């Protein structure tokens, strides 16, 4: 039997790196610890417990994790320091040898972090990185009005550049019944918008024999939730049926985030992605034919091994030709243990930078074009809290950022507005 009184009155500091999923998980741990009487250490206070939720997507991410751990250990002498997440799963020994670290928990233990902290606070330094089988449920409120509901974890794909399947384990998910209950709880707490998150959400259902479309339909019926956004979904798993369903649903927003990674079929083959550019174009065109005002964000990686100048030009031209709204551009980073390292052609850092800049400029053009096409449109906006002296912002159903003068009464309200011109900063449209 674990004695939970050990936590009562303690102060905790949290540090999260990486994806939305990590942020959702840290926020869930913080909420749970609060139930045991642990409060968040405020600025200037020394924490008794430090939790670092790490990422390992690039070598830079690993470096940032190490820096964060050193900083927390230094700022909070004597604190019980727990490190979890992808970096902890991949390099547990490296972390446990870091002075000041008490507990290293891999992805499988994330859901048991609190009992493990209670158990170990009096014990020795421990590493637990078992085979990853557990699904740790997580639903958190972001800084803004949105909630992030984790529906799936892990990945069964083996894209040649990616370490996520090793760091987060095989694909697994919560049951539709449990996820609907979590969404109902969000509605009971006054939440209006949920972002459905996971590592490879389209692959939902391995644990329970259900499908992502079943989940979408079930969530659509939850009373009180007015908006859902589907976070990044693999193009081959974004079925035509899901697109068609979203086009008729009032709650699933006209907004998709789809990883393309490369617009060259040759590079896609080297990456071992499960689609080609023809399939990707079909998905984008279907979305646009059913939802002409849909916002489509696309992930791209530049400078992967094998991306010759010709392949990059093919990719650039393909991306340019698509009616998409924004690009999220990532520079390829070599990861130990990945198959991509067997590809001999290496892109220099300078070329990577130039390619990244070209795609970022293209993204800016696309975003501006999309926003300009929305001027004069009448669209619903969910407004978010802002400090008194600052203008308020919110997002339309199709993910256009909108600015209005501050009005606290509109906080967390959905109001239909006519979209006017760009604001001063050029990053939002003003409501007329």
Summarize as ranges the residues that interact with ligand SF4 (CB under 6 A). Answer: 155, 157-159, 162, 164-165, 199-200, 234
CA distances 316 to 264, 272, 288, 359, Å, are: 8, 19, 20, 7
Burial class (CB in 10 A: 0-12, 13-18, 19+), 41: buried
Burial class (CB in 10 A: 0-12, 13-18, 19+), 423: middle
* Closest CB to ligand SF4 among residues 277, 374: 277
* Closest CB to ligand SF4 among residues 29, 155: 155
Is the CB of residue 42 less than 8 Å from the CB of residue 26? no
Q: How far is the CB of 201 from ligand SF4 (least distance, A)?
A: 10
Is the CB of residue 420 less than 8 Å from the CB of residue 401? no
* Closest CB to ligand SF4 among residues 161, 312: 161
> Which DSSP string do the residues of 148-216 spell out, in sequence order?
EEE-EE------TT--HHHHH-S-EE--HHHHHHHHHHHHHTT--EEEEE-SSGGGTTTTTS--HHHHH
Is the CB of residue 219 less than 8 Å from the CB of residue 180? yes
Give Cα 334 distance to the centre of its chain: 21
Q: How far is the CB of 82 from ligand SF4 (least distance, A)?
A: 24
**Structure tokens given for 216:** 């979408």
Q: How far is the CB of 133 from ligand SF4 (least distance, A)?
A: 17
* Closest CB to ligand SF4 among residues 18, 165: 165
* Closest CB to ligand SF4 among residues 79, 164: 164
* Closest CB to ligand SF4 among residues 156, 317: 156
CA distances 382 to 257, 392, 397, 400, 408, Å, are: 19, 11, 8, 11, 13
Q: How far is the CB of 273 from ligand SF4 (least distance, A)?
A: 7
Q: How far is the CB of 274 from ligand SF4 (least distance, A)?
A: 8
* Closest CB to ligand SF4 among residues 56, 76: 56
* Closest CB to ligand SF4 among residues 81, 260: 260
d(CA 21, CA 169): 14
Please compute Rg for the chain using Cα positions: 22
* Closest CB to ligand SF4 among residues 163, 396: 163
Q: How far is the CB of 124 from ligand SF4 (least distance, A)?
A: 34
Residue with tokens 């972390």: 95
Residues whose CB is less than 8 angstroms from the CB of residue 409 and which lie 6 or more positions away in sequence, other chains included: none
């Amino acid at each position: 039997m674990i004695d939970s009184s050990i936590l009562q009155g303690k102060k905790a500091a949290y540090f999260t790196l990486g994806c939305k999923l990590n942020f959702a998980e840290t926020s869930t741990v913080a909420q749970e610890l609060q139930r045991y009487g642990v409060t968040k250490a405020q600025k200037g206070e020394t924490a008794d417990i430090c939790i670092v939720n790490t990422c390992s997507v690039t070598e830079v991410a690993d470096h940032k994790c190490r820096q964060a751990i050193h900083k927390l250990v230094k700022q909070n002498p004597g604190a019980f320091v727990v490190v979890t997440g992808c970096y902890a799963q991949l390099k547990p020994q490296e972390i446990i040898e870091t002075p000041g670290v008490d507990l290293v928990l891999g992805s499988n233990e994330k859901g048991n972090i609190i009992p493990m902290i209670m158990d170990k606070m009096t014990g020795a330094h421990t590493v637990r990185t078992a085979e990853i089988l557990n699904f740790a449920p997580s639903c958190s409120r972001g800084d803004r009005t949105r909630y992030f509901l984790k529906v799936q974890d892990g990945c069964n794909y083996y894209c040649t550049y990616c370490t996520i399947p090793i760091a987060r384990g095989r694909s697994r998910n919560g049951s539709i019944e449990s996820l609907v209950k979590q969404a109902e709880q969000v509605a009971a707490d006054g939440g209006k918008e949920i972002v459905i998150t996971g590592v490879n959400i389209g692959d939902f259902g391995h644990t329970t024999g259900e499908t992502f479309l079943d989940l979408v339909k079930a969530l659509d019926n939850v009373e009180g939730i007015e908006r859902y956004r589907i976070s990044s979904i693999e193009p081959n798993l974004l079925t035509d049926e899901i697109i068609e369903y979203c086009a008729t649903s009032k709650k699933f927003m006209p907004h998709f985030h789809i990883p393309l990674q490369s617009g060259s079929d040759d590079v896609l083959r080297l990456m071992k992605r499960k689609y080609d550019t023809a399939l990707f174009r079909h998905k984008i065109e279907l979305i646009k034919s059913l939802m002409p005002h849909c916002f489509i964000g696309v992930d791209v990686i530049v400078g992967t091994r094998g991306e010759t100048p010709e392949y990059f030009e093919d990719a650039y031209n393909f991306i340019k030709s698509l009616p998409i709204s924004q690009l999220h551009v990532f520079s390829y980073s070599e990861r130990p243990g990945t198959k991509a390292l067997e590809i001999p052609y290496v892109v220099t850092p300078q070329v990577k930078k130039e390619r990244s800049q070209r795609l970022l400029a293209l993204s800016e053009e696309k975003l501006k074009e999309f926003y300009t096409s929305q001027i004069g449109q009448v669209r619903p906006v969910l407004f978010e809290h802002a400090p008194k002296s600052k203008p308020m912002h919110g997002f339309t159903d199709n993910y256009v950022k909108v600015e209005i003068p501050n009005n606290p009464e509109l906080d967390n309200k959905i109001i239909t507005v006519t979209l006017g011109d760009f604001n001063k900063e050029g990053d939002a449209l003003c409501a007329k």
